[in-house]
Amino acid sequence: MRILIISDIHANITALEAVINDAPAIDEVWCLGDLVGYGPDPNECINHLKSLPKLSCVLGNHDAALLGRIDINTFNRDARLSSEWTSSVITSENLGFLQSLPEKILKDSVTLAHGSPRNPIWEYLMDLYTATINFNHFDTPFCFVGHTHLPLSFLMKDDGTTQKISWELINADINIILENRMIINPGSVGQPRDQDSRAAYAIFNTETNIWEARRVDYDIASVQQRIFANGLPERHALRLIDGW
C-alpha cells in the first residue's frame, strides 16, 4: 500500500490542494495533526481532509487548543490570536470532527502521533536526548510524528548490548528505506520551517518501507492575501515566504 503522509496543514488550503494534486496514486492518507491554527482556511482544510480516501488522523496541539483541552495562554500572542479567530469561524460540524480525533493511532508497523509517542500533544522531537527517551514509548518499528515542521529522521540501532542513535534532516526529492527502528517527520504542508517555502509531505510504501520525501510549490501570495483580509497576524503571512 502507498500512504500519503501529511502533517501541520495549519489551515492552508492552497498548500493542501497543491500536495493532493502533486501526489501519485495512493491507497490511504495518514495525517499527523494540526489541521488548524495560523492560516485562514480552517473549514476548507477539514472539509477537504474528510473527503480523502481512508483517512487516519491524530489530534495536534492547535486542534486541542480549539477544543479547550489545552490552555491557550501557553501559546504565544500571535498563535493565540489566530486560535481565537479560528474559534469564531469554525463550524460546529468541523469542531465535532476535531473532537473525534485520537492522540495516537497504531498501524501494523507504525505508531502515529503529533508531537511524540511519549507526549503526543506537546513534546517537540528536535534533539537526540528527547528522541532516545521516546524510543521506549512505542513498540512498532516506526513512529511518524509532526509538530516541529521540520522533515527529519531519528534512527536507533540496538544490537542487544549497545544503543546507537543518529539523526538527519531529510532533503527534498529523496527516497529513504526505513530501518528498524526510526522516528520520522514529513515536515509541514502549510507552514514549513526549514527555510524551504514549498509544502512538504511524504509517500510511504508499506511493502518496501520506502519513504519518498517530496516538496511542491504553491501560490503563497494568495494565502497571504487571505491572512491579511481576515485580520490575522502579519507574521503568519510573512514567514511563509522564507519558510521559518
Minimum Å gap between C-beta 8 and Zn ion is 4
Q: Which is nearer to Zn ion, 34 or 41 (CB)?
A: 34
- Whether residue 54 contacts residue 48, with contact meaning beta carbons closer than 8 Å, is answered with no
- Contacts with Zn ion, 29-58, as mask; x by CB under 5 A: -----x------------------------
Q: Which stretch binds Zn ion (CB under 5 A): 8-16, 17-25, 132-140, 193-201?
A: 8-16
8 Å CB contact between 163 and 140? no
| 8 A C-beta contact, residue 163 and residue 129 | no
Closest CB to Zn ion among 34 and 212?
34
CB of 126 to Zn ion, least distance (A): 13
Least gap, CB of 193 to Zn ion (angstroms): 9
| Near Zn ion by CB under 5 A: residue from 8, 41, 123, 194 | 8
Is 155 or 232 the residue whose CB approaches Zn ion more closely? 232
Q: How many residues bind Zn ion (CB under 5 A)?
A: 2
CA–CA distance, 11 with 37 (Å, rounded to integer): 6
**Footprint of Zn ion on 69-98 (CB under 5 A):** none
Query: Cell numbers of 91, please?
Result: 463550524
Residue 208's alpha-carbon distances to 1, 3, 181, 204, 219, in angstroms, are 9, 12, 15, 9, 33
Instruction: State yes or no: residue 194 binds Zn ion (CB under 5 A).
Output: no
CB atoms within 10 A of CB 161: 5
169 SS3 class: strand
Give residues in contact with Zn ion (CB under 5 A): 8, 34
